[in-house]
Structure 1
């Protein structure tokens, strides 16, 4: 029965993707198959193909898709936005996820949208090796986002302690991007009145408050560069401080920063709790980027299905207050069930896409 869903989804996406009929059907087969099989592994996806075709033939067809299909870098972004129904402004979260395939390191830098219902990657890039991203890579990622959306769409950019640096924050400030980035207590700062000390030492002066303004770096660094004067806000946790550097109101930054955890949940959705992204055997950067685009579409599909299913309601909660099933898992399980009972109903959420208003965004 899955062939009905593949055919219907192919018709929905045809005006948006400049692919041949066979390639587009394969793309839809992969998106539907990875949800049905709970895996991105091509061997598992080949077993999900309906019809009498040999599994080995389908496997080779999937291999050829990743070998020969070349789409624009951000080809999936318009589809994601329309499927999620994003408008006005939203939170963004920046983080990395990495794993090994044999001796090869797969290391993604991901910029994701975070709302009450959705946590979905929007743009990403691959980092060579297992190290952290540098300032140039983060700026390049944000510039790709800004090429598609104005800065006014960013309610707040959230990032963990890995994503610090005076040059990076100067770029964000110059481009009017509001942010709240956690920093370590041993980071040296120069306060507004010229004192050069670590954040931890500054916070020991409790009588002077836990919200203040400072520049990142030593007094010499601050004098030699155009480092912006930023707000610093902190609150004590068990055995440590939560310290956030921001260019918005300190209280707003602290209250909103806790939503950064959604991107960690997103990685769980893409991996063991959902699509098992680490099952892939692909190692070529171009093929991995294409795979991530398809994973993003599947994650957005699950989120939209949950929103359509629940309407204005929220998933039921357990006695401890947490959801019995997340928005993602609610939609994910609903899609998998409907794919077996009523495949056309399973892809009903894709009808939100308006094909007449879009131009093709990729080539073979």
Structure 2
């Protein structure tokens, strides 16, 4: 069938909206009519080839839509069901079986390889295959074939245009705090980066009843917004000594930290902002080969823990419904981070995200 997609043809070049061909859903796949898709930093860095997904490619990995058709053997959902889309995973390896699907042994190939396991692609243009199945979705298209393991069913009353970004960025920030760090009530946490992922982590810290929540960024407007969402303290890293301020606010260092920027200097600052036996979660994506200055000599006596976290250590089929429930109860107002764009303005959404003028763009079909 024919569908409209935003295609990344070349490195560091805006996406091109064009008509492509979509094959029929295969065994274990679901064809989804997209209603909305979040625009994530990961889409930008893959477009720019920080990670080697082959181009041309249909990107997008925070999709939300309606099931249009199901392939052979699919019983999880039916035509007409409303679904959110998250990362792909095999569901069978030791990590998947242990409830750790974001560490699936086939995670990189399934989510960044641009092909099915048999090497085929769902999308083609002028008879030539182009990369599909990005994060099991390629949701920057009106229709896409999605592996059933990427599907999370939601009620038909759910506002898909709002819930779409739960599939990656929002669950990454919130999950890194609630699942990975699991901070004790009354504890302190410092969050580096007040973008969509960091502020989702901040909302998670509020839910966890942290009583000292410090947001660090270099944009005062974002820090002001962080205070509106529940930050008890803010630090502008371009104007203040972050380590000294965190030490002052917490009386010796934060119990927990979340690093969302992927910037080596920020990573180093984070390690030195922790209390003795503090625990940090790192979710910020960086180009392959990026190295950070890790001062082993001074950090070893601190006994800190630094955990690299993928997708918020989330099991999407259970964690996303929890976030939806928290949102519906008014306890997780992540919708305040969102700005919607028509699909035709997807490159504007990318530009606004890069400029920091929009925290979480969502394109609506």
Q: Shared fold by TM > 0.5?
A: no
Bigger RCO of structures 1 and 2 (CA < 8 A, at least 6 apart): 1
Structure showing greater Rg = 1
